[in-house]
Amino acid sequence: MYRSTLMHTPGNPFLTPGAMQVEEDGALLVTDGVIAASGPYHTLRGSYPEVPAVDLRGGVLLPGFVDTHVHYPQVRVLGALGMPLLDWLDHNTLPEEGRLADASYARTVAHEFLHGLTANGTTTALVFGSHFAPAMDEFFGAAQASGLRIIAGQVVSDRLLRPELHTTPEQAYAEGRGLIGRWHGQGRLRYAVTPRFSLSASEGLLEACAALLALAPDLALTSHINENSREIDVVRNLFAGARDYLDTYERAGLVTSRSVLAHNVHPSDRELEVMAGCGCAVAHCPCSNSALGSGLFPLRRHLQAGVQVALGTDVGAGSGFSMLKEGLQASFVQQVLGEQGVTLGAAHLLYLATRAGAEALGVEAITGDFTPGKAFDAVYLRPDDAGTLGTVVRHAESPERVLSALFTLGSQADVARVWVAGDEVYAAPGRPRFNPV
Ligand code: GUN
Ligand code: ZN
């Protein structure tokens, strides 16, 4: 049993006001990694008098964060500011991605990357992989050892990047099939077919991706879309017969309820309508969109069309692994949009960082909130009493204000412990022990 302040969004606050549930002195009873009961601490204590409780008072227990778009090979290129997408790829990012041809380099980067996720309280992630199959074997091995829920795949491209990052449709299919056979469905791992973006993928390569996707019903598909105006112009010229950017994926059969497309900063109404109809989700990455100057995300249009939206950090174009910061930036962007924006309160941010991600990835039956029957995937945020966040939290007038203070001021430094399916996958070094009560 875990005793703490609990907050989660089993419902969708964009549809139902009051969808966030809060238990100020709450408890979760966890059996074999699954939440067996939840409620006020004193109620659960009465029902289960013998079960020891881990005392997590003084902080807040949230569902583990779900990052729907983050690049494994880009940890070391975080922090390059001031470039638009295509320059940032050419000058900052693709040279580093080429270095993952060396499997031992890739192994080190994989560990750095997975540490970034766990230390920030992310328990489930849809991860853009490396172009190299051996680098993906290293990654999946490390991901399995981390205990995280990871959906990832080899990135494929056959034009306009750097020659060492290019493959062919035949090679992409053969390597993808091998990786799926070795890793898909192993423990908490799943495979995502991952064409980098239409700009760097021929129609033949997109068809090879469709053939991979047909290998199993629970494979995912992820890519980028409508991020930057120059990128969109190049794609328009490359696919002369396509109606728009989405159509380049649609014609290959890649737009389904298993698809998560990152960015979509500049969508047409037709694209939004098709995405909503297919149940294709959008990974909104507001830190990345601001850092690369890609634009201001039209969240209102996505919601009005009925498109599923969740958050992604987009490391390394984004500004780090913190889903708290991503939530804050999402709220800033909507404020800047004025009347075209959507006011995001703490409940919206929590939903976007947890349950919405689980829905986008099709894992909401397992994770994303604290409903009994779900896995105990959780992050315990415990601000330092002496810091500004600690002060604000102590004086907050409501749990909602505590949560918005966590999104505003919280960081990796406030992540004390993280669990996946009841297994502790992270404990901050040097933090006090938590004694059973
Ligand atoms: N489009 C194609 N590749 C990338 C990438 O690595 N990052 C971002 N933000 N957009 C992309
Ligand atoms: Zn990306």
What is the domain-level CATH number for residue 161? 3.20.20.140
Convert the pLDDT of each residue in 296-355 to its tens digit.
999 999 999 999 999 999 999 999 999 999 999 999 999 999 999 999 999 999 999 999
In a shared domain, residues 112 and 231: yes
Q: 235 alpha carbon to ligand 1 midpoint, in Å?
A: 14
Q: 390 alpha carbon to ligand 1 midpoint, in Å?
A: 36
- The number of the ligand nearest the C-alpha atom of 67 reads 2
CB crowding 418-432: b at 16 or more within 10 Å, else e: bbbbbeebbbbeeee
Q: Per-residue pLDDT for 218 more than 90?
A: yes
Closest C-alpha residue for ligand 1 atom 8: 317
In a shared domain, residues 245 and 379: no
Closest C-alpha residue for ligand 1 atom 7: 317
Convert the pLDDT of each residue in 116-166 to its tens digit.
999 999 999 999 999 999 999 999 999 999 999 999 999 999 999 999 999
* Domain assignment of residue 163, yes or no: yes
Domain interval for residue 127 = 65-360
Q: Is the CB of 69 under 6 A from ligand 1?
A: no
* Domain assignment of residue 435, yes or no: no
In a shared domain, residues 121 and 45: no
Preceding peptide of 316 cis, ω within 30°:
yes
**Does ipTM surpass 0.95 in this model?**
yes
Q: Which residue in the block uniquely carries the two structure tokens 């940890």?
A: 75
Whole-number Å distance between alpha carbons of 83 and 75: 17
In a shared domain, residues 167 and 259: yes
Predicted confidence band of residue 436 (pLDDT cuts 50, 70, 90): low
* Domain assignment of residue 436, yes or no: no
Q: 288 alpha carbon to ligand 1 midpoint, in Å?
A: 9
pLDDT at 8: 98
Q: 37 alpha carbon to ligand 1 midpoint, in Å?
A: 42
373: number of Cβ within 10 Å: 9
Closest by CA to 2, choosing from 376, 354, 398, is 376
Q: Per-residue pLDDT for 435 more than 60?
A: no
Protein residues with C-beta less than 5 angstroms from the ion ligand 2: 262, 314
On whether the CB atoms of residues 270 and 307 are closer than 8 A, the answer is: no
How many domains does the chain contain in total?
2
- The number of the ligand nearest the C-alpha atom of 74 reads 1
Residues with Cβ within 8 Å of 78's Cβ and at least 6 positions away in sequence, in order, are 315, 316, 318, 319, 320
